[in-house]
């Protein structure tokens, strides 16, 4: 019986053992092989990669476990690619402080490592006098957060800078930029690997349990997880026993944490999901704008804005569509519906024409969609990033990252710096 189980397990163990460089995979607890490792980062999105790199730079041995076949296939490749200045977030929140620190670290990293990016600048616009108080609030909040270069300008000045724009006043943010996210992640992965971090793809953390006051991670390399995730018990192929675990599983992070037996379920915040769709501007030789253009924020997002990419393509989005009809297994396996339904475009035209009245009928084409991992639901006030260590949940060496929505890309290097400084001494 044990023999046949080991024969079945031999392929998965062989694969992961390449990553863990195992010298001793022959120690078993029950039927499952175990391996002690230094650090495990769960999830190779931009945040997990940045954390892995930072830990590796500090001399830790890092193993990144990623369920997809490569890095950055989740939210990290489905966003606006904007380097945010740090304007909108409540003062002293993690979002504000990580965004501002992360922005500076990101510009420095991109310059030093040749990652394509540009400080394109952005205008936040009031399209009618009723929006001016909100614009004033945004300016005040940005200044309070330490975004020193923000300025309010008259609509006429904004429209001189951007002739296609229509607005009555605007806040200009010169330190907002755009970055090629894939190049960024590729560079960070390379840097992490150069410091001996290992990335193990097609491998899923399916849960964990607490033993000897340490988190034992249950690892699976099954290709058919979809068919068996809801069956209990789901047997792991391997148990990893890390000194430090960083749960950076993005949309799945709270659901994964709920599968850590020994972690009090009450510690895991409620999660909500809000899809954001983008539409691209077709048949344009010259982009209508040189800056990013943002309206006043809406519930759940920062408004259907104009984003430019580094190739000069123009996209509008993301809108906000709350997702309610998804089961736990699909969330855990990242089986979200990322399709952009063409009929959503109807709501885009009027929103965009408030600041871009010359937008032509039929000029928008479906682009892509991303899902925001939110910790607050519709009409609830936004919730801050959550970084949970032992001081919150009582489990040594476990760090949970929850609700890493926007500005998570901008904040990635600052989150990594924080996690490594606080939890890896």
Choose, by CB under 6 A, the member of 6, 36, 68, 323 that binds ligand FAD.
Answer: 68
Please choose, out of 10-18, 244-252, 263-271, 350-358, the segment that lies near ligand FAD by the rule CB under 6 A: 244-252
Choose, by CB under 6 A, the member of 249, 304, 383, 414 that binds ligand FAD.
Answer: 249
Site for ligand FAD in 276-295 (CB under 6 A): 276
Which is nearer to ligand FAD, 168 or 397 (by Cβ)? 397
Q: Does 330 bind ligand FAD (CB under 6 A)?
A: no
Q: Does 404 bind ligand FAD (CB under 6 A)?
A: yes
Could you tell me which of 207, 187, 149, 217 has the C-alpha nearest to residue 72? 187
Q: Does 319 bind ligand FAD (CB under 6 A)?
A: no
Q: Does 126 bind ligand FAD (CB under 6 A)?
A: no
Shortest separation between residue 410's beta carbon and ligand FAD, angstroms: 3
Choose, by CB under 6 A, the member of 97, 176, 280, 410 that binds ligand FAD.
Answer: 410
Shortest separation between residue 46's beta carbon and ligand FAD, angstroms: 5
Q: Does 383 bind ligand FAD (CB under 6 A)?
A: no
Choose, by CB under 6 A, the member of 16, 37, 42, 398 that binds ligand FAD.
Answer: 42
Choose, by CB under 6 A, the member of 215, 331, 408, 423 that binds ligand FAD.
Answer: 408
Q: What CA–CA distance (Å, rounded) separates 286 from 366? A: 20
Could you tell me which of 262, 241, 260 has the C-alpha nearest to residue 252? 260
Please choose, out of 8-16, 60-68, 152-160, 388-396, the segment that lies near ligand FAD by the rule CB under 6 A: 60-68
Please choose, out of 25-33, 151-159, 375-383, 402-410, the segment that lies near ligand FAD by the rule CB under 6 A: 402-410
- Which tokens in the block code for residue 155? 């609509």
Please choose, out of 23-31, 36-44, 87-95, 345-353, the segment that lies near ligand FAD by the rule CB under 6 A: 36-44
Phi, psi of 344 (to 5 degrees): -65, -15
Choose, by CB under 6 A, the member of 304, 364, 375, 409 that binds ligand FAD.
Answer: 409
Shortest separation between residue 102's beta carbon and ligand FAD, angstroms: 8
3 state SS for the chain: CHHHHHHHHHHHHHHHHHHHCCCCCCCEECCEEEEEEEEEEECCCHHHHHHHHHHHHCCCCEEEECCCCCCCCCHHHCCCCEECCCCCCCCCCHHHHHHHHHHHHHHHHHHHHCCCEECCCEEEEECCHHHHHHHHHHHHHHHHCCCCCCEEEEHHHHHHHCCCCCCCEEEEECCCEEECHHHHHHHHHHHHHHCCCEEECCCEEEEEEEECCEEEEEEECCCCHHHHCCCCCCCCCEEEEEEEEEECCHHHHHHHHHCEECCCHHHCCCCEEEEEEEEEECCCCCCCCCCEEECCCECCECCCEEEECCCCCEEEECCCEEECCCCHHHHHCCCCCCCCCHHHHHHHHHHHHCCCCCCCCCCEEEEEEEEEEECCCCCCCCCCCEEECHHHHCCCCEEEEECCCCCHHHHHHHHHHHHHHHHCC
In angstroms, the Cα distances linking 190 to 52, 83, 197, 248, 424 are 11, 21, 9, 19, 21
Q: Does 370 bind ligand FAD (CB under 6 A)?
A: yes
Please choose, out of 7-15, 65-73, 108-116, 280-288, the segment that lies near ligand FAD by the rule CB under 6 A: 65-73
Q: Does 208 bind ligand FAD (CB under 6 A)?
A: no
Please choose, out of 77-85, 191-199, 283-291, 340-348, the segment that lies near ligand FAD by the rule CB under 6 A: 77-85
Choose, by CB under 6 A, the member of 33, 56, 80, 214 that binds ligand FAD.
Answer: 80
Please choose, out of 292-300, 346-354, 387-395, 404-412, the segment that lies near ligand FAD by the rule CB under 6 A: 404-412
Q: In 10 A of CB 21, how many CB atoms?
A: 12
Q: Does 84 bind ligand FAD (CB under 6 A)?
A: yes
Q: What CA–CA distance (Å, rounded) separates 51 from 424? A: 11
Which is nearer to ligand FAD, 197 or 251 (by Cβ)? 251
Shortest separation between residue 3's beta carbon and ligand FAD, angstroms: 29
Which is nearer to ligand FAD, 154 or 338 (by Cβ)? 338
Q: Does 47 bind ligand FAD (CB under 6 A)?
A: yes
- Where along the sequence are the contacts to ligand FAD (CB under 6 A)? 42-48, 65-68, 73-76, 78-82, 84, 204-205, 248-252, 256, 276, 318, 334, 370-372, 404-410
């Amino acid at each position: 019986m044990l023999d046949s189980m080991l024969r079945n397990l031999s392929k998965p163990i062989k694969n992961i053992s390449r990553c863990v460089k195992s010298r001793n995979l022959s120690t078993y607890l029950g039927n499952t092989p175990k391996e002690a490792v230094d650090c495990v980062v769960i999830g190779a999105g931009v945040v997990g990669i940045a954390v892995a790199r930072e830990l590796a730079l500090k001399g830790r041995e890092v193993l990144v476990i990623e369920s997809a076949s490569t890095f950055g296939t989740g939210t990290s490749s489905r966003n606006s690619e904007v380097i945010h200045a740090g304007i909108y977030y409540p003062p002293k929140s993690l979002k504000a402080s990580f965004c501002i620190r992360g922005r500076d670290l990101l510009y420095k990293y991109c310059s030093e490592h040749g990652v394509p990016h540009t400080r394109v600048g952005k205008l936040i616009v009031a399209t009618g006098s009723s929006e001016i108080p909100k614009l004033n609030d945004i300016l005040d909040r940005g200044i309070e957060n330490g975004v020193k270069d923000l300025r309010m300008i008259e609509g006429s000045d904004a429209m001189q800078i951007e002739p296609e724009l229509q607005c009555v006043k605007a806040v200009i943010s010169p330190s907002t930029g755009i970055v090629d996210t894939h190049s960024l992640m590729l560079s960070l992965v390379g840097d992490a690997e150069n410091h001996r971090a290992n990335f193990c793809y097609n491998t899923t953390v399916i849960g964990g349990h607490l033993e000897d006051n340490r988190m034992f991670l249950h690892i699976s390399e099954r290709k058919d997880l979809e068919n068996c995730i809801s069956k209990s018990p789901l047997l792991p192929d391997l148990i990893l026993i890390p000194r430090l675990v960083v749960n950076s599983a993005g949309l799945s992070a709270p659901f994964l944490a709920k599968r850590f037996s020994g972690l009090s379920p009450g510690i895991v915040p409620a999660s909500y999901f809000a899809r954001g769709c983008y539409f691209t501007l077709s048949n344009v030789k010259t982009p209508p704008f040189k800056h990013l253009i943002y309206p006043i924020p809406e519930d759940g997002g920062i408004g259907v804005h104009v984003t430019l990419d580094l190739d000069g393509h123009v996209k509008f989005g993301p809108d906000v569509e709350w997702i309610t009809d998804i089961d736990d297994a699909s969330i855990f396996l990242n089986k979200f519906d990322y399709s952009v339904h063409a009929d959503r475009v109807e709501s885009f035209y009027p929103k965009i024409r408030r600041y871009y009245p010359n937008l032509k009928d039929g000029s928008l084409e479906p682009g892509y969609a991303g899902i925001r991992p939110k910790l607050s639901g519709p009409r609830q006030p936004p919730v801050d990033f959550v970084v949970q260590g032992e001081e919150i949940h009582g489990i040594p060496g476990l760090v949970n990252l929850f609700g890493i929505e926007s500005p998570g890309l901008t904040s990635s290097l600052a989150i990594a710096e924080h996690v490594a400084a606080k939890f890896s001494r």
